[in-house]
Amino acid sequence: MKFIADVMLGRLTKYIRMAGYDVAYMNNIKDDLIIEIAKKEDRIILTRDRLMLERKDIKNQIIKSVFIKYDHLPMQLKQVKYETGINLEPLFKRCIKCNAELEEIKKENAQSKVPPYVYSTQNYFLLCKSCGKIYWRGTHYKNIYEFFNKLKDPGS
């Protein structure tokens, strides 16, 4: 299952990428191009734009779409899960910045690219071969993990 998100959904895009899904996202992308890419690459459109729903291919359900009803990120994620069946587990196998898949690299290969403290306390590093960003499981990782855990709580 692959997605393409409109410009209003940058934050949601990052979190769905954390769950491992391929989400295309471009700044300033026009609706016409979103439609074209969705059709060509078989992507589900995530949108907050009511005008998008009036498009012929969406009305005919040639292209699948989810109209995001909420402002609140956890609610947005729950809605996408409810409507598409995505699994909301933080997998960290995809770059949240550029959507490319991450690759595990040897600790020594990360040395020149991360702060010394990180290098001395972490052993597991992932590299985005597309943009060069390095990921490790620091404090940020724990916060994200807790965020995803809370989503499973039906009362939240």
Residue 26 binding Zn ion, by CB under 5 A: no
Q: Which one of 5, 44, 95, 151 is in contact with Zn ion (CB under 5 A)? A: 95
DSSP letter, residue 12: H
Tell me which stretch binds Zn ion (CB under 5 A): 45-53, 74-82, 104-112, 131-139: 131-139
Residue 149 binding Zn ion, by CB under 5 A: no
What is the distance in angstroms between the CA of the first residue and the CA of the last residue of the chain? 26
Tell me which stretch binds Zn ion (CB under 5 A): 23-31, 83-91, 92-100, 147-155: 92-100
Residue 128 binding Zn ion, by CB under 5 A: yes
DSSP 87-141: -------B-TTT-PBEEEE-HHHHGGGS-HHHHHH---EEEETTT--EEE-SHHH
Q: Which one of 26, 70, 131, 156 is in contact with Zn ion (CB under 5 A)? A: 131
Residue 53 vs 98, nearer CB to Zn ion: 98
Residue 29 vs 100, nearer CB to Zn ion: 100
Buried b (16+ CB within 10 A) or exposed e, 79-110: bbeeeeebebebebebbbeebbebeebeeeeb
Return residues touching Zn ion (CB under 5 A).
95, 97-98, 100, 128, 130-131, 133
